[in-house]
Amino acid sequence: MTQATLSLSQTWSPALAQEASETFYLMPEWLELISRLYGYKLLPLGLRNEAGQLCGFLPLCLVQNRPGSRRLVAFPFSDYCPFLADSAEHAQALLEQALALTADQRADCLELRCGPNGLLQADSRFVTSDLYVRWLLPLAREAQMMWSQLRKPVQRQVRKAAQLGVQVRLAERREEMLRYYQLHLRTRCKKHGLPAQPRRFFLELWETFARSGRLRLWLAEYEGQPIAGMIFLAAGGTLRYAYGASHEGYLQLAPNNLLMWQAIEQACNEGFRVLDLGRTACANQGLMEFKRRWGAEKVPLPYYYYPRQAGPVSTSEESRVYRLVTSCWRVLPLQVSGPLGGLLYRYLG
């Protein structure tokens, strides 16, 4: 086995090609953007067959959470990063290489965000964390079929937003991402009590993926002002809801419901097969219910750690530490929490 080189023209073995094409977080452009923007060391591990095709792949980044703390993560700021191998033998070889790399890099922890995996589940060296789930919504060929399957309260909220004058559209310019960022900053810091990604992240996300259509930014406006937004990322037949934000002063207009419906309608019209509503902490019952109301199916999303559970995403939202940190962050003025969060965000990978 050799360390894989990062290539924009990766060639996959037939057994892995489908899943790789459906996973946005395996795109070389994403791997490169995250490692470069946050200053991580990118260490993609791979196996190639005699034809030179990838038959095993695990992208790792070396992340420093605090001085003296180092973790290997597959993959930072990616909710789901599958452990791809076309055979049990290749999977075991890839895993042993990852463990060896953990030792070589003197990392305290190896974190794999790959979802259900029999090999890792059976390996006593790993600790399993079940703090999160994914929500997947199968899409019909016709948007009208999706509409008929929605719960009546959801339909009423969608109609309400439209009747009250909320207008939804796809962003077309880079400057509109800056308008979304202001909503995102407010939502992350004041509602959730968490640091927000740096503004540069959203601008580079736009520049890297918008032109190809792999990024779609939907904006909801009321009387000419943006009041909510959602960012979707496309790969193969899967469209993924990645980021969302809204102004709390306009929630009575139900802009998020109209945004989500417009995105679903467009996805059906374009032939997408699945809408991935992303990772949700099991402790966040409000967000769990929002995704359940749209008809999405809950899917397990275990993360695996060696030799112990560590890092920001291993902290339960119900823990005292989490509640203390978020309470303190909420009281900071946005003029402070915005720039400070941008500086600290790299430590949350």
Q: Judge contact between 146 and 263, C-beta under 8 A.
A: no
Q: What is the pLDDT of residue 314?
A: 73
Q: Could you tell me which residues are beta bridge partners of residue 300?
A: 133
d(CA 256, CA 237): 23
Query: What phi-psi label fits residue 190: left (phi over 0), alpha (psi between -120 and 50 degrees) or beta?
Result: alpha
Element (H, E) at 60: strand 54-66
The superfamily (CATH) of domain 135-300 is Gcn5-related N-acetyltransferase (GNAT) (3.40.630.30)
Tens-binned pLDDT, residue by residue, of the chain (349 aa): 455 554 545 789 999 999 999 999 999 999 999 999 999 999 999 999 889 899 999 999 999 876 678 999 999 999 999 999 999 999 999 999 999 999 999 999 999 999 999 999 999 999 999 999 999 999 999 999 999 999 999 999 999 999 999 999 999 999 999 999 999 999 999 888 888 999 999 999 999 999 999 999 999 999 999 999 999 999 999 999 999 999 999 999 999 999 999 999 999 999 999 999 999 999 888 889 989 999 999 999 999 999 988 777 777 777 888 888 888 888 889 999 888 988 888 888 7
- pLDDT, residue 147, reads 96
Give the per-residue pLDDT at 9.
56
The answer to whether residues 247 and 219 touch, using CB atoms and an 8 Å cutoff, is no
Q: Any residues with CB less than 8 A from the CB of 333 and at least 6 apart, and which?
A: none
pLDDT of residue 107: 94
Continuous segment of H or E residues that includes residue 106: none
| Residues of each domain in the chain carrying CATH 3.40.630.30 | 2-130+303-313, 135-300
CA distances from 64 to 105, 149, 246, 269 (A): 12, 45, 31, 43
- Alpha-carbon gap, residue 74 to 83, rounded angstroms: 9
Give the Cα separation of 235 and 213 in Å (integer). 10
Instruction: Supply the DSSP symbol for 315.
Output: S
Q: What is the pLDDT of residue 3?
A: 52
CA of residue 91 relative to chain centroid, distance: 24
Can you tell me the distance from the alpha carbon of 178 to that of 90, in angstroms, rounded to the nearest whole number? 44
- Do 93 and 3 contact (CB within 8 A), yes or no? no
Which of 7, 144, 175, 4 is CA-nearest to residue 74? 4
Q: Phi/psi zone of residue 91: left (φ > 0), alpha (ψ -120 to 50 degrees), beta?
A: alpha
Output the pLDDT for position 349: 76
Kind plus residue range of the DSSP H or E element containing 71: strand 69-74
pLDDT in tens, 92-116: 999 999 999 999 999 999 999 999 9
Please state the CATH superfamily assignment of the domain spanning residues 2-130+303-313 in this structure.
Answer: Gcn5-related N-acetyltransferase (GNAT) (3.40.630.30)
pTM of the model: 0.93
